Structure 1
Amino acid sequence: MNRDTFSKLVMARQDVENVEMIEIASPEEVMENEDNLPSDLALLSLRNTVLFPGIVIPVTVTRQKFIKMVKKAYRTDRTVGVVAQVRHTPNEPTPEDLFKVGTIAHILKMIVLPDGNVTVIIQGRRRFEVLEYTQTDPHLMANVKYIPESFPNVRKKETKALLQSLKEAAYKILNLNPDIPRDAQMAISNIDSPSFLTHFLSSNLNIEISEKQLLLETFDGGEQAHKLLEHMMKEIQVLEIKRDIQSKASIDIDQQQKEYYLRQQIKVLQEELGMESPDQEVEKLRAKGSKKKWTKEANDHFNKELNKILRMNSMSPEYGVSLNYAETMVDLPWNEYTKDNFDLKRAKKILDADHSGLEKVKERIIEYLAVLKLRNDMKAPILCLYGPPGVGKTSLGKSIAKALGRNYVRMALGGLHDEAEIRGHRKTYIGAMPGKLIVNLQKAKSSNPVFVLDEIDKVNRDQRGDPSSALLEVLDPEQNNAFKDNYLEVDYDLSKVLFIATANSLDTVQGPLRDRMEIIEISGYTVEEKIEIARKHLVPKQLEQHGIKAKDLKIDDKAIQKVIEGYTRESGVRRLEQQIGSLIRKIAKSVAMNEEYPKTVKPEHVEKMLGGVIFDRDLYEGNDVPGVVTGLAWTSVGGDILFIESSLSRGKGQITLSGQLGDVMKESAITALSYLKSHADSIGIDYRIFQNYDLHVHVPQGAVPKDGPSAGITMLTSMASMFTQRKIKPNTAMTGEITLRGKVLPVGGIKEKILAAKRAGIKDIIMCYKNRKDVEEVGEAYTIGLTFHYVDYVEEVLEIALLNEKVNNPLHFILPEEKKETPVTPLDVVVV
């Protein structure tokens, strides 16, 4: 029985009995008297209870329409129809929301509360069935048919036995449930009517509203009593199980033992209901662990953790941490490897199909596969693919995994600043987790995947640790066979993992970390390679993404070339893919709107679709102006060209540098000027110019910071051209550093610089003789149409770059007359 419901009923009855001038009919009189029962009833819906005949309950009415209805009924015949709701609704219930069978009720008392709501104390009289609804607004009215009470004669033996069984079941429930008031037993013993006893017990039984409604809708009294007895016997069983559970737990307990007591109750309930208990969950983990191919150390540690879980309070935070730890251990692929595919011809076909160019990289991967095939026990190398964005570093990892037949997993390191993300958190912290390496190996489901560490050059360092230092152990082939994650606490073998790191720049990568990796430089693509990549990969991919079939649209190679030369300036193909996507979107719009569109996109269509050309293919600006020299530079996004401009103005020999130059470029400018001053006679410069004219050296695009050792000979040539007013050799670019004695030093990034020169229409390139080997490694396909001039000293640079011809309208220097030097005699010498 429900204690709260019974208490409210008793209190309501006491309140009613204390009200003067109001008479309460006995339950038997209420159920037997059929006089003055109206055929049309105003309906009051109840959400959480069912009203049975003869039962007194309080009801609080909050909706204004129902309040008006109740007040009106209280002023007239004090009669309303009470029905239970099938479901709770936020709005006023409709006929579909109500049960068809209810109870007519007599309002015994009405209390108006301070908040405007009304509480009415009502007594059920007789059951009715709704025939039809006659009114829905402002409240429900229904035409009803009353159901007569049909309980067996109390004098029959069967009826007496049934009545006695109901009372004994009620007494058992009262004894098993100490929360119900003792007065209830006396109230039940005084009931002689089988019909009222059935309704009273049905009303107070702790069952669902729908089940109570079924009892109300059972019109045969004997059948209703039998159903009620079944519910009571089920409740007795539940209470007896509860008593058994309580008897198994200790009675004399403190606060800590109380938690254990509750846990034991949950455990017994779970076993009774057929659910898994914590012990069963642990045994399942133990069974999984027995199938793992892990080391003895890992096995002992795992079983030790499981034994600790069994001793823990399942409600404590440490329980969840330990359980997650055990699940992490069994989910890891301990010594589980995929079989490598050593068909080198197949691997080469896959690499060639997925990536055009990149011959050096693909050759290195084939070499790795060949050695692995011959030895079958080689430790996996740590490769670092280094190059500008968009050249295919990350996608190359997928191709390697496909060629090897290994699983593929990628971990982004960009912006990583917490060492725990690599090594994991210690289990002493609530919410501890393993590092990303272990998490990704769980996803890979094998211990020898191809693992791409993307953007390793963008790892940050702060007060929470240095993640790049944590990677030292991971990327060391001599140490990573026993990698220890702080969360895992046991060694895990990473030596079979093929790590492939990617980076745009090596400047921000720690020296020790660079030493652990084999650096493979991936340079940019030529125009021809970009056209090939676009035709094989980019255009089909974009057509598929934009819902256009390949047969419905073709993009001419010359159109692709126009996009490359006029709308992109990059080493990779990422921007090219974006521009091709923009072209195809224009076509997709025309297809969707049933407009005419070119079936084959040609160069003349490109400018109409993408707008005016963004980049000029030929950036060379001529040699009519002295002091303007084209230099070659390397950036993290590929090669580029830059101009060094010099100018002279009357002054006192000062030098000004502008264009956001770094320290290295500033030193190069000072070194170049010093060299010119010391070799002015051999170059043909009047030394008086240095004293009477100010020099300004500028590198355009001043908002872009610039630094590096590649501009030394470019700055010197620019100054020499300005001081001598001689023309620069047309279509010439240069790169290289200088020393104070005129030595030309080699620089890096040669392939990117060559590609930048070709994009700008340069014909001649001047560089250090020691860079010749770098040019030879680039390959003939990249150097067609270029002439290379290799030099060792500055004199060779000036001889090649400066023409004997003066510029148009050369600057005429206004210089003071040269002072004659007075001979020094012995008398003029002062000895100190």
Structure 2
Amino acid sequence: MKRKIPLLPLRELIVFPHEVVPLFVGREKSINALEEAMAADRHILLCAQKKAKVNDPKPEGIHDYGTIGTIIQLLRLPDGTVKVLVEGKSRAKIEEYLDTGRFFHVEAEEIEASKVTPDDDPELAALMRSVQATFENYVKLNKRVPPELAVSVQSIDNASRLADTIAAHVNFKLAAKQELLETESVRARLEKLYELMQNEIEILQVEKKIRTRVKKQMEKNQKEYYLNEQMQAIQKELGSQDEFKNELAELEDRIRRKKMSKEATERLKKELRKLKMMSPMSAEATVVRNYIDTVLALPWNERTEDKIDIEEAERILDEDHYGLEKPKQRIVEYLAVQALVKKVRGPILCLVGPPGVGKTSLAKSVARSTGRKFVRVSLGGVRDEAEIRGHRRTYIGAMPGKIIQGLRKSGSTNPVFLLDEIDKMSMDFRGDPSAAMLEVLDPEQNVAFVDHFLDLDYDLSEVLFVCTANSLHTIPLPLRDRMEIIELSGYTDEDKLKIAKQYLVPKQVELNGLEGVEIQWSDSAVKELIHHYTKEAGVRSLEREIASVLRKLAREHVKEPKKKKTFKVDAKLANKLLGPRKYRFNRAEETDMIGMANGLAYTPMGGDLLPVETTITSGKGKVTLTGQLGDVIKESATAGITYVRSRSLALGLEPDFYEHVDFHLHFPEGAVPKDGPSAGVTIVTSLVSALLAAPVRKDVAMTGEINLRGKVLPIGGLKEKVLAAYRAEIKTVLCPRENEKDLHEVPKNVMKAIEFKFVESLDEVLRVALAPLPEDHPNQSLRAFLLGESEAKLDDWREVRDWMKQRKEQEDRARETARESGQHGPH
């Protein structure tokens, strides 16, 4: 039966049917063949090479006969080799090589085993008995073959299986074994096997006689000398060298020359002594060899010289990144200190900010400006503590942790080591990796960092660790305490415009092959992309949209390559190429509205306007909150309602007003999750406006946390929130008094365009946020409250309620009249 099958060439080894053999595979073609077999039915053809030393054999250098085997187990070792356990199934002959590129793919004819039994052929039965008896004699003389094998061979009643089992375990030359494999006739195979075993038995008997005679004649020293001479003579006769012995000598030389700690040198010498006593093919020898190689590959004293040029470092940092003054300043400070102090411990910096603001690329610039090697390790999704500290050598496939692997890759003891996405680590039953990071990122402890695989002290004090994170609250407090936090806020629209023109457009023009084409980008085109095709704090999506526009221009250019054309990219063309707008920024209302207040929110994408709507209906005091809200913002709403109840008399409300009405507070854009305490002042303003029918000023936005006593507490993310108000064309922003110190981060052009009111109490908020009341508004004492002259009277609430009822009846009558006359009613 013909079949297509991947081929695995073997060196100095022949596998017979029914034989289970472990193989160590290191050649790329052979590994590819194994992967192909694993992806199919696990069957692979095992054929011996004619010359074992040939690393990349051709089809003519491989025997035509081989054995089809089944892969029982496949294990990838840390050094890149593959250990595979194969069981021979049947003989096969190669008919044709189908492919010799990535791996050998052949068409082979499977040779079925003979089904003749000893019962059918008495002569075959006699031959089998002779072979079994001869093999028993061979086992008695050869101590390397276990006696149990002779017992199991006696029980084999299949002639073909008997011949293959014995051939696999007798120490024949490779040529003889190949000849047995190629012999298809069972009878001929048994006869050949019988002849070969008789020769081996004669040799073993002679060797036994020699050993007995020599043992009696020589003393201990003579015996050692004789054995060494005999081994050298055999090696010389065969023309081969003991490769394993040469490797050990090479390792010994490398250990002697490598400058390491005293502890590491002693450990490697001990491991080498252990390796010398092992068999080179044993699994333990592979583990020890891998350990020695790993320790020798580590940089113990290799380091790069730091470039202590402050001006050059500033130039590189400014060249690579626009803005980001805080982290740049910190790096320059570090270099200045290093210029004055000979050895300074590497700081642990943590860059925190929204996606796309340049945290990872900034770390690369740090490496470039300091002249250090750069290593990046992503910690996103790491849940196993052993990935940081390494696995103990008792485990199969053990390897060092990410820290030691990164240093091995860098080849330097003082690289810039980027720990990316440190806030994305999590824990499970395998341990807490963030706890393992405590030792790595503590300048007092990382002088003697211990990796479980190495089990040696390793000095990390010269490494400049840079961590990146999107948020701080997911980083455990002890780990956060060990790092110097540098917060990177989102870019303003002006920043994005400059970054796009200076960095992103030239970069994407080059990447899209448009360097020779004249392309003129207008500011309006970039602003169109910023405002309506991206919604982010960084510039990653902006770069993608710029690339998308350029790809479409590239297509136009390729259609008419000879025609020299100038592309003028403006907002209209960008809109045409990219299709309908994807996003819109929340805008302020066109008129002052009752129950609608503009809040300011901080999101991972930057700041945004957060409107809050409140509707009052008759009911029994039920409070409904909608808009996908978190627990903290719900608590702010509850606190706001409690505050309004406590101030009912001052606002002209009946003390039990809440027992007769239901409140519905709604936060639009329900698909976007919202949380945090800073919406407190907005909620109270919206509530008071709805209860008292007092409009909220359309050009006012506010932010601030509240307590039950009406105090306005400080918030975070002021810069992003103010930028959102600027985009929404808000004229006045209400902020907590304690946040006045944060205004230095706000761009000057924004400061000029917005009037800031710093408040300490909700009374101040209401007096600024609520619009002047209509002339016919009955609650004149509320007008006095808003002006700060006096507090409202209790009777005013009843008048407001009656006035709102009369106004609603008038609107209903007007709507009814309009419907009867075929006109639209008032809106």
Given the two structures, how large is their TM-score scaled by the length of structure 2?
0.66
1:786 shift after superposition: 2.1
Go from structure 1 to structure 2 and tell me whether the alpha carbon gap of 1:376 and 1:652 turns closer, same or farther (over 3 Å shift).
Answer: same
The answer on 1:718 being equivalent to 2:647 is no
Q: 1:427 maps to which residue?
A: 393
1:673 shift after superposition: 0.9
The answer on 1:383 being equivalent to 2:349 is yes
In the alignment, is the contact (CA less than 8 A) between 2:689 and 2:770 conserved in 1? yes
Q: 1:519 maps to which residue?
A: 485
The answer on 1:625 being equivalent to 2:593 is yes
Q: 2:41 maps to which residue?
A: none
Match for 1:374: what amino acid? L
Query: Which of residues 369, 373, 382 in structure 2 aligns to 1:407?
Result: 373
| Cα distance in structure 2, aligned partners of 1:319 and 1:816 | 91
CA displacement 1:243-291 (0-9 Å, x = unmatched): 9999999999xxxxxxxx9xx9999769955455223212212222223
Go from structure 1 to structure 2 and tell me whether the alpha carbon gap of 1:409 and 1:373 turns closer, same or farther (over 3 Å shift).
Answer: same
1:400 shift after superposition: 0.3
Query: Which of residues 675, 681, 702 in structure 1 aligns to 2:649?
Result: 681
1:704 shift after superposition: 3.0
1:588 shift after superposition: 1.3
Equivalences, count: 590
Q: 2:453 maps to which residue?
A: 487
1:543 shift after superposition: 1.6
Query: Which of residues 84, 89, 102 in structure 1 aligns to 2:96?
Result: 89
Q: 1:549 maps to which residue?
A: 515
Equivalent position SS for 1:680: coil
1:566 shift after superposition: 1.8
Q: 2:268 maps to which residue?
A: 302
Structure 2 unaligned segments of length 5 or more: list them.
1-13, 15-46, 49-64, 66-92, 99-113, 117-173, 180-198, 216-226, 779-798, 806-827
| Cα distance in structure 2, aligned partners of 1:265 and 1:550 | 72
The 5 Å alignment of 1:194-343 reads 272-275=238-241, 277-343=243-309
| Cα distance in structure 1, aligned partners of 2:521 and 2:440 | 46
Equivalent position SS for 1:653: coil
Match for 1:601: what amino acid? V
In the alignment, is the contact (CA less than 8 A) between 2:524 and 2:571 conserved in 1? yes
Equivalent position SS for 2:650: helix
Q: 2:186 maps to which residue?
A: none
Q: 2:801 maps to which residue?
A: 813
In the alignment, is the contact (CA less than 8 A) between 1:245 and 1:265 conserved in 2? no
1:815 shift after superposition: 10
CA displacement 1:142-173 (0-9 Å, x = unmatched): xxxxxxxxxxxxxxxxxxxxxxxxxxxxxxxx
Match for 2:708: what amino acid? L
Q: 1:662 maps to which residue?
A: 630
Q: 2:604 maps to which residue?
A: 636
Equivalent position SS for 1:621: coil
In the alignment, is the contact (CA less than 8 A) between 1:653 and 1:694 conserved in 2? yes
Go from structure 1 to structure 2 and tell me whether the alpha carbon gap of 1:675 and 1:396 turns closer, same or farther (over 3 Å shift).
Answer: same
Q: 2:437 maps to which residue?
A: 471
| Cα distance in structure 1, aligned partners of 2:361 and 2:281 | 46
In the alignment, is the contact (CA less than 8 A) between 2:592 and 2:697 conserved in 1? no
| Cα distance in structure 2, aligned partners of 1:731 and 1:247 | 110
Q: 1:500 maps to which residue?
A: 466
| Cα distance in structure 2, aligned partners of 1:704 and 1:304 | 62
Go from structure 1 to structure 2 and tell me whether the alpha carbon gap of 1:90 and 1:414 turns closer, same or farther (over 3 Å shift).
Answer: closer
1:524 shift after superposition: 0.8
In the alignment, is the contact (CA less than 8 A) between 1:672 and 1:712 conserved in 2? yes
CA displacement 1:593-634 (0-9 Å, x = unmatched): 228875221222111111122233562223443111121222
In the alignment, is the contact (CA less than 8 A) between 1:317 and 1:430 conserved in 2? no
In the alignment, is the contact (CA less than 8 A) between 2:722 and 2:746 conserved in 1? no
Q: 1:350 maps to which residue?
A: 316
The answer on 1:538 being equivalent to 2:526 is no
Identity within the alignment, %: 46
| Cα distance in structure 2, aligned partners of 1:245 and 1:385 | 75
Name whichever of 465-474 and 538-547 sits farther off: 538-547
Go from structure 1 to structure 2 and tell me whether the alpha carbon gap of 1:320 and 1:655 turns closer, same or farther (over 3 Å shift).
Answer: same
The answer on 1:768 being equivalent to 2:736 is yes
Equivalent position SS for 2:801: coil
1:423 shift after superposition: 0.2
Equivalent position SS for 1:599: strand
| Cα distance in structure 2, aligned partners of 1:610 and 1:249 | 92
Equivalent position SS for 1:300: helix
Match for 1:722: what amino acid? A
Q: 2:223 maps to which residue?
A: none
Name whichever of 385-394 and 353-362 sits farther off: 353-362
| Cα distance in structure 2, aligned partners of 1:573 and 1:762 | 24
Q: 1:615 maps to which residue?
A: 583
Query: Which of residues 796, 816, 826 in structure 1 aligns to 2:764?
Result: 796
Equivalent position SS for 2:691: helix
CA displacement 1:681-716 (0-9 Å, x = unmatched): 323445454222111111122233321111111111
1:113 shift after superposition: 11
Match for 1:813: what amino acid? R
1:307 shift after superposition: 1.2
In the alignment, is the contact (CA less than 8 A) between 2:586 and 2:608 conserved in 1? no
| Cα distance in structure 1, aligned partners of 2:371 and 2:209 | 59
Go from structure 1 to structure 2 and tell me whether the alpha carbon gap of 1:345 and 1:566 turns closer, same or farther (over 3 Å shift).
Answer: same
Match for 1:604: what amino acid? K
Match for 2:247: what amino acid? E
Go from structure 1 to structure 2 and tell me whether the alpha carbon gap of 1:681 and 1:480 turns closer, same or farther (over 3 Å shift).
Answer: same
Equivalent position SS for 1:368: helix
Go from structure 1 to structure 2 and tell me whether the alpha carbon gap of 1:250 and 1:458 turns closer, same or farther (over 3 Å shift).
Answer: farther
| Cα distance in structure 1, aligned partners of 2:175 and 2:245 | 36
In the alignment, is the contact (CA less than 8 A) between 1:524 and 1:755 conserved in 2? no
Match for 1:714: what amino acid? T
| Cα distance in structure 2, aligned partners of 1:651 and 1:271 | 107
Structure 1 unaligned segments of length 5 or more: list them.
5-46, 49-59, 61-85, 92-111, 115-203, 210-235, 253-260, 818-832
| Cα distance in structure 2, aligned partners of 1:769 and 1:324 | 63
| Cα distance in structure 2, aligned partners of 1:344 and 1:816 | 70
Q: 2:79 maps to which residue?
A: none
Go from structure 1 to structure 2 and tell me whether the alpha carbon gap of 1:113 and 1:286 turns closer, same or farther (over 3 Å shift).
Answer: closer
1:754 shift after superposition: 2.2
| Cα distance in structure 1, aligned partners of 2:359 and 2:242 | 48
CA displacement 1:760-802 (0-9 Å, x = unmatched): 3323211111111112244535534222211111111111111
Go from structure 1 to structure 2 and tell me whether the alpha carbon gap of 1:294 and 1:90 turns closer, same or farther (over 3 Å shift).
Answer: closer
| Cα distance in structure 2, aligned partners of 1:668 and 1:268 | 89
1:475 shift after superposition: 0.5
| Cα distance in structure 2, aligned partners of 1:483 and 1:588 | 53
In the alignment, is the contact (CA less than 8 A) between 2:593 and 2:697 conserved in 1? no
Name whichever of 804-813 and 398-407 sits farther off: 804-813
In the alignment, is the contact (CA less than 8 A) between 1:631 and 1:735 conserved in 2? yes
In the alignment, is the contact (CA less than 8 A) between 1:318 and 1:430 conserved in 2? no
| Cα distance in structure 2, aligned partners of 1:401 and 1:746 | 38
The 5 Å alignment of 1:86-125 reads 88-89=95-96
Q: 2:785 maps to which residue?
A: none
1:554 shift after superposition: 2.9
Query: Which of residues 764, 773, 783 in structure 1 aligns to 2:751?
Result: 783
Go from structure 1 to structure 2 and tell me whether the alpha carbon gap of 1:533 and 1:804 turns closer, same or farther (over 3 Å shift).
Answer: same
1:814 shift after superposition: 5.4
Larger Rg: 1
| Cα distance in structure 1, aligned partners of 2:590 and 2:212 | 97
Go from structure 1 to structure 2 and tell me whether the alpha carbon gap of 1:685 and 1:296 turns closer, same or farther (over 3 Å shift).
Answer: same
In the alignment, is the contact (CA less than 8 A) between 1:712 and 1:736 conserved in 2? yes
Equivalent position SS for 1:89: strand
